[in-house]
Structure 1
Amino acid sequence: MSNGHIVIGEIFGTAVLILLGGGVCAAVTLKKSKAQGAGWVAISFGWGLAVLAGAYIANGYSGGQLNPAVTLGVAIKTGEWSTMPYYLIGQFAGAIIGAFLVWVAYMGQFQAHLTDPELVRSLEGPAGTTKAGSAPGGPVLGIFSTGPEIRNPVQNLLTEVIGTAVLVLFILTQGMTKGLALNGLGILLTALLVVGIGLSLGGPTGYAINPARDLGPRIVHALLPLPNKGRSDWSYAWIPVVGPLVGAAIAGGLYKLAFT
């Protein structure tokens, strides 16, 4: 595959990943959405199916990595580093495009949710001031990016490291089963694992396990002209970037140590 194919494949695949994954978060969160309140199980399955769709779309062009952590793990396994920048360009560009499309698809629901009188009253502070501008994350930030239920940087970082290490080690060891990584079944199994990680390890942080999945949409949240959206919580933003990369490096090291 050429470098151009890598960029194109990762843009399309990651855009679909974020469109469907962010879309299920929007569906569950926003007022006037038919799926509002569907809960964490729906979100976990939605993200798993988003991985399935994005990876299948990109597979023929780029291999469908869609995740800088996966790209790092594969580079450690294979020793092929020259294509890594092209994967990263495609992944971050695709994540930004996908997050923007979530807003387009739910534009009316965003407006209804963020201008709802009950929500506006809940954001009002003393003397008519607003808490939306000072809170770590606003009422729709979770549609775009992750955030912790308990704000403990060490625990939050370790949760992302552990979840990503499981994901990347699973992907790296698929090649040990003859034909698994080539016949499409590997993509399906990876998607199911993403559901499993969400159900088992997603509770503390919302499981980014993908730097592009978190950072790209967080940038879109910061730029979109949404009323009462609150801050984009940049003080937390390093954790869903650094944690998955550390987890991927650990998984790559374990693979080299134990499986080769």
Structure 2
Amino acid sequence: MTGSWEARYAAEFFGTLILVLLGNGAVANAFLKNTTGNDDPGLANGGWLLVASGYGLGVMLPAMMFGSISGNHLNPAITIGQAVIGIFPWAHVAPYLIWQFLGAIAGQCLILALYWPHYRQTTDNEAVLGTFATSDHANSQLNGFVTEMVGTAVLIFGAMGLYRGMFFHQNIDIANIGVGLLIAAMVISLGGPTGPALNPALNPARDLGPRLVHALFPVPNKGSSHWEYSWVPVVAPIVGAVIGIWIYKIFFGL
């Protein structure tokens, strides 16, 4: 990483903003009524691939823009996991987390503004919530926890391998593309239990920040923000990140 810590904080803010804008924006395009991506709420018309592409690009593009500045965490689970393993200073964990949360909130506010007419036309409360945060589709917080924990462990393990593998060591942008494809694949393959926003649910800032926007702002046709489930996409990704990075360290070192 290069640049001052202030520049790194700014990179985390704008990177997380872009992640949420592209990722949750894709969900809004797929879920909300009368958008060009979907005439009806739901995941028809290729919406699942639309969402997976949005999240994959939402991580890959900020990585190319800001990876050399901040390390492109964009995720409290990654920041905490790296601090636990000793490759990121604890003194800067709190500022990173704060700017990540603020970036997620700002990105969601932009989506709310851009898709406002479609929120007004969408009467399905769960579809509206799905554009902000994940929910308990399997009616089991345990299943949600296991899904997010395992998903994050796989994500962190895969990202560590892509960025630290010998082949990609001198080809960082290829590694960035690989991470984007990994995230898109995980949304497609593991997004069933907790919805297409699985990847951001592997990100506490992406879930909690927009959930706050859903709860506090006068969102049209909104129902419950499901705070009883909100601990899952916060705690599970952090546990999964620590597990994934430890497994990588045990077998391949750092």
1:180 is aligned to 2:169: yes
How far residue 77 of structure 1 moved from its aligned partner, in angstroms, is 5.1
Q: 1:60 to 1:252 in 2, by over 3 A?
A: closer
CA distance in 2, matches of 1:78, 1:148: 34
Residue of structure 2 equivalent to 1:124: none
Residue of structure 2 equivalent to 1:129: none
CA distance in 2, matches of 1:89, 1:233: 23
CA distance in 1, matches of 2:56, 2:88: 28
Unaligned runs of 5+ in 1: 120-136
Q: Which amino acid aligns with 1:162?
A: V
Residue of structure 2 equivalent to 1:162: 150
Q: Which amino acid aligns with 1:102?
A: I
Residue of structure 1 equivalent to 2:220: 227
What is the root-mean-square deviation in Å for CA atoms of aligned residues?
A: 1.8
Residue of structure 2 equivalent to 1:152: 140
Kindly report which structure 2 residues correspond to 1:108-147, keeping only aligned pairs within 5 A, or say none.
108-114=117-123, 138-147=126-135
Say which one has the larger Rg.
1
How far residue 224 of structure 1 moved from its aligned partner, in angstroms, is 1.6
1:200 is aligned to 2:189: yes
Residue of structure 2 equivalent to 1:133: none
Residue of structure 1 equivalent to 2:203: 210
Number of matched residues?
239
1:97 is aligned to 2:99: no
Q: Which amino acid aligns with 2:103?
A: G
CA distance in 2, matches of 1:254, 1:15: 30
Q: Could you list the per-position Cα deviations for residues 19-52 of structure 1 after superposition, in whole angstroms to 9, with x for gaps in the alignment?
A: 0111101101111201113322221122111111
Unaligned runs of 5+ in 2: 39-43
Kindly report which structure 2 residues correspond to 1:46-57, keeping only aligned pairs within 5 A, or say none.
46-57=54-65
CA distance in 2, matches of 1:107, 1:227: 8
How far residue 247 of structure 1 moved from its aligned partner, in angstroms, is 0.2
Taking only the aligned residue pairs, the percentage that are identical comes to 41
Q: 1:79 to 1:88 in 2, by over 3 A?
A: closer
Q: Which amino acid aligns with 1:53?
A: L
Choose the corresponding residue for 1:65, options 45, 70, 73.
73
Moved over 3 A (4+): 178-182
How far residue 95 of structure 1 moved from its aligned partner, in angstroms, is 0.3
Q: 1:109 to 1:73 in 2, by over 3 A?
A: same
Stretch deviating more after TM superposition (190-199 or 180-189): 180-189
CA distance in 1, matches of 2:118, 2:164: 43
CA distance in 2, matches of 1:105, 1:257: 46
